[in-house]
Structure 1
Amino acid sequence: MTHIPGKRLPRPGPVLAAVTALVATFGLGLAGEAKAAAPRAATPAKTAGPFDDDRPHGFASLTGGTTGGAGGRVVTVTDQASLARYASAPEPYVIRVAGSIAVEPFGSDIVVASDKTIVGVGDTGEIVHGELHLNPGTHNVVIRNLTIRDSYVEGDWDGKTTDFDAIQMDGADHVWIDHNTFTHMGDGLLDIRKDSQYVTVSWNRFTHHNKALGIGWTSDVRTQITIDHNWFSGTKQRNPSADNCAYAHLYNNYLSGQVADGDPVWTYGNYARGRTKMVIENSYYDGVQHPYQADATAELVQRGSILRHTSGRTDEHGTAFDPHAFYDYRPDPAAAVPALVERFSGPQQRIGTVLRVPGEYPTVQSAVDAVPDGNTVPVTIEIAPGTYREKVYVPPSKPRITLLGTGRDRSDTVIVYDTPAEYGGSSGSATVRVAANDTTARHLTFSNDFDEAAVELKGEQALAMKTTGDRIVFEDTAFLGNQDTLMTDSPKLTTTSRVYLRNAYIEGDVDFVYGRATTVIERSVIRALSRGSATNNGYITAASTWKGNPYGFLITDSRIVSDAPAGSVHLGRPWHPGGEPDAVGQVLIRNTGLPAAIKSAPWTDMSGFSWKDARFAEYRSHGPGAAVTVDRPQLSDADARSYTVADYLRGTDGWAPYARR
């Protein structure tokens, strides 16, 4: 596979792009961006949420970054034994926690080794009365989207008899703790100890506890930590407490509902202890005693925060440090923090479902292979702009995958190969094969660039795409080839698979839209290439619809274009694979513009089967190639009401991809 990098779109700020409505509540506006001119349909600007970017920020992003188990095997666990086995393994793993895992004995550790990602599936992944523990020397760990709860021992409010944290790390480096909920544990919720370095703690909820987040337990001054967009609610102290941190950067945190037990000293918000250098920016303190305080030996700089119904210490002294000297960031307005953090902190349904090519995975196929068999949560494979020379197969065992090009235009991201049918059969020639259900592709180009003129073969079929799965969507995609460019099929003749193409571009010359799947091509451009003939420049469709299926191909509200000579291109012919008599093609060309290249008698026979026995029709064709003659069956207005996009696609499950706009 050869990847040719392209220009990436700049990513938006950490939250503002995702929460326009929320920010507008505080009187702020966002400027829109004009769409860039492009030869094909432009990709809409991506709306990014605080959890759309599965890469860490802050200190965890420095000195090589934190990637966790990216590139390793992806496994889904539902029990303690599996979680413990994969978490402690020497090789990288992405470990998806599905449902609730109760840890026994009560309060026990699950040891997490280096190069691991542990992520909850959807928002239901839980670890109950157990701790994730990172031993000294552990590095490159991501823990996301989990609820870790309930190892509290009744009567031990101060946590003096147990050490049952939610997460504890000693001397670890490059750790990202993100979008978790920590509650009701036996000692601290999150303990970052003994010179741990390059840590980011973001978008977590700390709740229903005494000691929330402690950092230190060392006389050295080495820890670098970013703490942002966390919600501390119903906690008493360590929100956080940072002892002897080289750099502690706190921004956009929300402290509310502090436990009120009358303790005048050890009930507090943020605490810079020892020789810590702490910077606090744009946070929100509501009903907090001692919002931020610092030892005489520490340095604390605060700017832009909001204090509401607070009391006690608000210490500021020294110059601390400039976080911008280490990494780029853009704090959200302090006034927006409560709404943002309440909405987006803690586990989220969409986290842990994005795989990136080529960053985390070198090829598109390797990313597909990383999706667990039988996955129930949709997975998006984001493909950076470039040309990927590889063949891709999405097997039936991997449904619910979206292939997403991230360029400005579908032509920016191309998957291409050059296999002809003679070297692998018609199906084997396909650059991309999709056999799984519920597969979607957006903003991509699929190509088979086999050069017909360069090699003399018995057959020149060379597919860019073949599908056999059901509920397949192609949106803002292009398919490039010559003969047999796009095949939409089904696993067997009597099985109906449905495919929906919107805003597509398809080009070819012979049978380049073909197969037996029920297929809708809407608001698209179909280009019939010239083969250099004055009389016959090929066939657009070759349907092999099962006779028991009333719906084959619908090309609607589209344009067929061609630079071939006038009257030299057929709309289609009936394909009966292997002479199968029950494959009786159905094609409707509806509300579509036709060029002068279309023949006056546009349907023709194939392999001894008459086109007149197939189910070919037009309805309201227009343009120079349109006509109403005896050789051009027309659908009546009454029949047309039963041949809509919805009729073709709804099936028995009411599938309506055309409505999701």
Structure 2
Amino acid sequence: MRRAVAWRLLPTLAAVAVGVGVVVVQAMPEASAATGGVTGYATQNGGTTGGAGGQTVRATTGTAIHQALCSRASSSTPIIIQVEGTINHGNTTKVSGSSCNTAEDKIELKEISNVTIIGVGSGAVFDQLGIHIRDSSNIIIQNVTVRNVKKSGSPTSNGGDAIGMESTVRNVWVDHATLEASGGEDQGFDGLFDMKDDTQYVTLSYSILRNSGRGGLIGSSESDLGNSFITFHHNSYQNIDSRTPLLRGGTAHIYNNYYVGLTKSGINSRAGGKARVDNNYFKNSADVLGTFYTDAAGYWQVNGNIFDNVTWSAKASDNNPAGPNPTSNTSVSIPYSFALDPASCVPDVVTRTAGANTGLQVSNGSCTPTSPTGGPTGGPSSSPSSPRPSSPAPSSPTATPGGTNLSIGAGSDGSSKASGTSYGDVRDGDMSTYWSPSGTTGSISIKWGSATAISRINIREASGATGNIRNWRVLNGDTGAVLATGTGAGVISFARTSMNKVTFEITSATAAPRVAEFETYA
């Protein structure tokens, strides 16, 4: 495993076909390969630097990502791939070359090293297309959304895993990602973040994992025990049945994560696994820690966690919950430095920092989000804010663009509505009425009888709810395409688009959102 030293750029990439969506952004003759913001076990074993020091290219299709990998001088030539747009089966094909080994039904990082994939601009969404890491090392994946990857039904990809690693994988950092499904195994989905067959030195940080039957596993069976040294911190687990994670053998450090709605079980340490569980917040969940579904014992060290409305099942031969009063049954030594937020502030700080398109904010260890001082691989070239044409800083919630508000007289619908609120309240010109979803997330849409061109919307929060909206996406309601992403309500601009319906989707909030007006402008 190569150490954190200065990489000298190898010969520049060969001219890359514009038709597959690759653009060379910047070539740096020499750059630092300092680990930058890398944390946890990914800092060990020589560190994780991804594509630091390599050429930076832009990709807008899956084929372009593969093309960038295949156009390198060798399979270990460092490269930073900036990704923008929706990557799916329709724009992902196999590309051949001596420096790659790709496939058409997934993003294939196979038998390669020294690669960074980072979402930029209006965001990178891998739609029904998983990311597969096999026989590879020194990989960074940052600021991306991977959703609805299936192992059965159509289309299928990556065995149903959003991100899957297997077969001698070393040093991977996945950061500020959103990994989501739309159900469990019966609906065709598998794990969101799986590691097996000799995967080691991995960190998952500041990410959202939600709406899945399975959060992820470390080890595919009771005999697959060579996977180890995994860190999970400042992640948000929402509406997951189990496996947050499932740890078979090996060592995991799990700290400052926020768990809500774990319906069957949570951290499942078994077959000799050792989990150090520090300052996490568990809420409205069942059996959040223990050894479940086996008599092969696992172990845990617990410190400073909060268990808020957590229920525990009875002990049995194949069921050993750690609660209702969890105590340590092992000791786990951590070889790297880390700063712990108090568990009491974890719900707030994780909600404000985790997931794609949150500005790569991190906690300062005192419950306060802070912006990174540099790019994820030690240089500014890979920052998702450079460029960020479709994610401008929102204006004041009370600011109003010039022109006619096209929402007046239009129709509206949404994902859900809280009691006493209405979809139509967002287009009545009255700031005293509002729409609110039935939970803290949901979507509201404006629709017209014929295609209407707009380039700006203004989301105005009701009095007393200003600042509740955190992360959002603006979608073309006709195609599902992401027009813009960002944080906070206000004026949002994007490329002028004709559509019959525009949707504002709230993906996280500090409290129940209240949208008084959803204005649209040409």
- Using structure 1 for the length normalisation, give the TM-score: 0.43
Distance 1:254 1:87, change over 3 A: farther
In the alignment, the residues of structure 2 paired with residue 70 and residue 168 of structure 1 have an alpha-carbon distance, to the nearest angstrom, of 23
Q: How does 1:397-416 map to 2 (within 5 A)?
A: none
1:231 to 210, 214, 236: 236
2:259 matches 1:255: yes
1:244 to 232, 238, 249: 249
What SS is found at the alignment partner of 2:216? strand
Q: How does 1:505-524 map to 2 (within 5 A)?
A: none
In the alignment, the residues of structure 2 paired with residue 76 and residue 62 of structure 1 have an alpha-carbon distance, to the nearest angstrom, of 29
Q: CA deviation at 1:235?
A: 1.0
In the alignment, the residues of structure 2 paired with residue 62 and residue 162 of structure 1 have an alpha-carbon distance, to the nearest angstrom, of 28
Q: How does 1:564-583 map to 2 (within 5 A)?
A: none
2:49 matches 1:74: no
Distance 1:356 1:172, change over 3 A: same
Aligned equivalent of 1:299: 299
Higher RCO (Cα < 8 Å, 6 or more apart): 2
What SS is found at the alignment partner of 1:308? strand
Q: Could you list the per-position Cα deviations for residues 226-248 of structure 1 after superposition, in whole angstroms to 9, with x for gaps in the alignment?
A: 11111110111111111111x21
Amino acid at match of 2:218: I
| Preserved contact between residue 55 and residue 67 of structure 1 (Cα < 8 Å) | no
Q: How does 1:351-500 map to 2 (within 5 A)?
A: 351=360, 376-377=387-388
Q: Could you list the per-position Cα deviations for residues 423-461 of structure 1 after superposition, in whole angstroms to 9, with x for gaps in the alignment?
A: xxxxxxxxxxxxxxxxxxxxxxxxxxxxxxxxxxxxxxx
What SS is found at the alignment partner of 1:99? strand
In the alignment, the residues of structure 1 paired with residue 303 and residue 243 of structure 2 have an alpha-carbon distance, to the nearest angstrom, of 20
Q: CA deviation at 1:320?
A: 3.1
Aligned equivalent of 1:203: 206
Q: Could you list the per-position Cα deviations for residues 71-111 of structure 1 after superposition, in whole angstroms to 9, with x for gaps in the alignment?
A: 00011111121012224552211111112222347992211
Q: Could you list the per-position Cα deviations for residues 192-248 of structure 1 after superposition, in whole angstroms to 9, with x for gaps in the alignment?
A: 111211111111100111111111125334511111111110111111111111x21
In the alignment, the residues of structure 1 paired with residue 36 and residue 128 of structure 2 have an alpha-carbon distance, to the nearest angstrom, of 27
Equivalenced residue count is 304
Aligned equivalent of 1:345: 354
What SS is found at the alignment partner of 1:184? strand
2:336 matches 1:327: yes
Q: CA deviation at 1:309?
A: 1.0
Amino acid at match of 2:322: T
Q: What percentage of residue pairs aligned between the two structures are identical?
A: 28
Q: Could you list the per-position Cα deviations for residues 131-176 of structure 1 after superposition, in whole angstroms to 9, with x for gaps in the alignment?
A: 111112x0000011100012247889xx9x9812111111210000
In the alignment, the residues of structure 1 paired with residue 290 and residue 153 of structure 2 have an alpha-carbon distance, to the nearest angstrom, of 29
Q: Which has the larger radius of gyration?
A: 1
Bigger share in strand: 2
| Preserved contact between residue 122 and residue 349 of structure 1 (Cα < 8 Å) | no
Aligned equivalent of 1:628: none
Aligned equivalent of 1:577: none
The gaps in structure 1 that reach 5 residues or longer are: 1-52, 261-266, 362-366, 379-661
2:47 matches 1:65: yes
Q: How does 1:583-622 map to 2 (within 5 A)?
A: none
In the alignment, the residues of structure 2 paired with residue 143 and residue 375 of structure 1 have an alpha-carbon distance, to the nearest angstrom, of 17
Q: Could you list the per-position Cα deviations for residues 288-326 of structure 1 after superposition, in whole angstroms to 9, with x for gaps in the alignment?
A: 110100365322111110111111122545323122xx0
In the alignment, the residues of structure 1 paired with residue 153 and residue 382 of structure 2 have an alpha-carbon distance, to the nearest angstrom, of 45
Distance 1:127 1:283, change over 3 A: same
Aligned equivalent of 1:314: 322
| Preserved contact between residue 108 and residue 164 of structure 1 (Cα < 8 Å) | no
| Preserved contact between residue 196 and residue 224 of structure 2 (Cα < 8 Å) | no
Q: CA deviation at 1:123?
A: 6.0
Aligned equivalent of 1:100: 86
In the alignment, the residues of structure 2 paired with residue 371 and residue 284 of structure 1 have an alpha-carbon distance, to the nearest angstrom, of 32
In the alignment, the residues of structure 2 paired with residue 155 and residue 102 of structure 1 have an alpha-carbon distance, to the nearest angstrom, of 16
Q: How does 1:77-156 map to 2 (within 5 A)?
A: 77-87=59-69, 89=72, 90=75, 91-104=77-90, 108-112=105-109, 113-122=112-121, 124-136=123-135, 138-152=136-150
Distance 1:192 1:219, change over 3 A: closer
Q: CA deviation at 1:350?
A: 3.1
Q: CA deviation at 1:376?
A: 2.8
In the alignment, the residues of structure 2 paired with residue 93 and residue 73 of structure 1 have an alpha-carbon distance, to the nearest angstrom, of 5
What SS is found at the alignment partner of 2:345? helix
2:275 matches 1:278: yes
Amino acid at match of 2:138: N
| Preserved contact between residue 145 and residue 179 of structure 2 (Cα < 8 Å) | yes
Q: CA deviation at 1:67?
A: 0.3
- Using structure 2 for the length normalisation, give the TM-score: 0.53
Q: How does 1:144-183 map to 2 (within 5 A)?
A: 144-152=142-150, 163-170=159-166, 171-183=168-180
Q: Which moved more, 1:124-133 or 1:181-190?
A: 181-190
Q: Could you list the per-position Cα deviations for residues 558-599 of structure 1 after superposition, in whole angstroms to 9, with x for gaps in the alignment?
A: xxxxxxxxxxxxxxxxxxxxxxxxxxxxxxxxxxxxxxxxxx
Distance 1:349 1:219, change over 3 A: closer
| Preserved contact between residue 131 and residue 158 of structure 2 (Cα < 8 Å) | no
The gaps in structure 2 that reach 5 residues or longer are: 1-34, 94-103, 183-188, 313-320, 362-370, 390-522
Aligned equivalent of 2:192: 189
What SS is found at the alignment partner of 1:342? helix
Aligned equivalent of 2:345: 336
In the alignment, the residues of structure 1 paired with residue 226 and residue 199 of structure 2 have an alpha-carbon distance, to the nearest angstrom, of 10
In the alignment, the residues of structure 2 paired with residue 333 and residue 343 of structure 1 have an alpha-carbon distance, to the nearest angstrom, of 15
Distance 1:360 1:231, change over 3 A: closer
Amino acid at match of 1:252: N
In the alignment, the residues of structure 1 paired with residue 259 and residue 230 of structure 2 have an alpha-carbon distance, to the nearest angstrom, of 18
Q: CA deviation at 1:340?
A: 0.8
Q: How does 1:29-44 map to 2 (within 5 A)?
A: none
